[in-house]
């Protein structure tokens, strides 16, 4: 079974530029998460999708970050414009989560490392 | 809001020995889930073990086991017969229904 795929793996941009990250979850997984992991810290949830609907985006800086999950499969996270403090690893995770069932384990992709200069 | 605290930024252990990583959390919830993830230098986050709060029995997965103390809000990870491949950053995480809340991590180094 293929794992969570993310691209690109690395990205270097200058501040005020735009950048987009792509995530393809494990086939059949209804729930998709984006996390931001700043160097030396634990990951922080940015947004959670259930199919193509947003469950939680309370920690997403909406003035510059946006995310979508069209058709309930792949997802894109965008930053526009980027700031120096956005330098981090952006992790995508997915879980099965059958309605009415228990919370399922999240499986993570390899992450995208962003450096903003 | 939930918080997760890992008070040991770094730990080291000799190969084949046992080590315990500490984790405490704060929540007002009664039903929730706890996880330990490891993140090696490749940065791929890998599940080590999970515990449902409604289960009194501590979870075990081969050389990995937890000591879950619900009243004390403590969730420690014990690694037995440590191997060089266990060297990684270990994160404790809490989950109710929304995404995971992670601790700051413990860097574990297994020495030959």
Which DSSP string do the residues of A9-70 spell out, in sequence order? SEEEE-TT--EEEEEE--TT--EEEEEEE-TTS--EEEEEEETTEEEE-TTS-TTTEEEE-G
The rounded distance, in Å, linking the Cα atoms of A58 and A52 is 17
Q: With a cut of 70, which residues of chain A have pLDDT below it?
A: 1, 98-102
Which pLDDT score is estimated for A71?
85
B→A interface, C-beta within 8 Å: 4, 33, 35, 37, 42-47, 50, 52, 91, 93, 95, 97-105
Put simply, the answer to whether B98 touches A55 (Cβ < 8 Å) is yes
Put simply, the answer to whether B100 touches A48 (Cβ < 8 Å) is no
Put simply, the answer to whether B101 touches A45 (Cβ < 8 Å) is yes
B90 contacts: CB under 8 Å, gap ≥ 6: B21, B36, B37, B38, B39, B48, B77, B105, B106, B107, B108
Region class of A38: left (phi > 0), else alpha (psi between -120 and 50), else beta: beta
Q: What's the Cα-to-Cα distance from A52 to each of A45, A59, A97, A111, B33, rounded to whole Å? A: 17, 18, 14, 21, 24
Instruction: Measure CB to CB from residue A110 to each of B43, B93, B95 and give the nearest one.
Output: B43
- Work out the minimum CA distance from A73 to partner chain B, whole angstroms: 18
pLDDT tens, B57-81? 999 999 999 999 999 999 999 999 9
Give yes or no for a contact between B33 and B95, defined as CB atoms under 8 angstroms apart.
Answer: yes
Which pLDDT score is estimated for B2?
82
Which pLDDT score is estimated for A98?
65
Look over chain B and give the mean of its residue pLDDT values, rounded to a whole number: 94
pLDDT band at B106 (very low <50, low <70, confident <90, very high): very high
Put simply, the answer to whether A93 touches B45 (Cβ < 8 Å) is yes
Which pLDDT score is estimated for A72?
83
- Mutation pick from A31, A59, A102, A103 vs chain B, by most beta carbons of B within 10 Å, is A103
Which pLDDT score is estimated for A52?
83
Peptide bond into A68 cis (omega under 30): no
Higher-pLDDT residue of B42 and B15 is B15
Instruction: Measure CB to CB from residue B102 to each of A42, A55, A89 and give the nearest one.
Output: A42
């Amino acid at each position: 079974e293929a794992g969570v795929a993310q691209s690109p793996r690395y990205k270097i941009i200058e501040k005020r530029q735009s950048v987009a990250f792509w995530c393809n979850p494990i086939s059949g997984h209804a729930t998709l998460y984006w996390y931001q992991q700043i160097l030396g810290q634990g990951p922080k949830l940015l947004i959670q999708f259930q199919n193509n609907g947003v469950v939680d985006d309370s920690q997403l800086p909406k003035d510059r970050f946006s995310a979508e999950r069209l058709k309930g499969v792949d997802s894109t996270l965008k930053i526009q414009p980027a700031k120096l403090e956005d330098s981090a690893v952006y992790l995508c995770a997915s879980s099965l989560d059958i309605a009415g069932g228990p919370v399922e384990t999240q499986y993570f992709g390899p992450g995208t490392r962003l450096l903003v200069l | 809001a939930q918080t997760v605290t890992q008070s040991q930024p770094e730990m080291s252990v000799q190969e084949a020995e046992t080590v315990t990583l500490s984790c405490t959390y704060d929540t007002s919830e009664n039903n929730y889930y706890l996880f330990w993830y490891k993140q090696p230098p490749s940065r791929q986050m890998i599940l080590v073990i999970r515990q449902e709060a409604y289960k009194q029995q501590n979870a075990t997965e081969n050389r990995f086991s937890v000591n879950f103390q619900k009243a004390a809000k403590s969730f420690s990870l014990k690694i037995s017969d440590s191997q060089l491949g266990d060297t990684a950053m270990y994160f404790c995480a809490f989950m109710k229904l929304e995404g995971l809340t992670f601790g700051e991590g413990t860097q574990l180094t297994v020495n030959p």
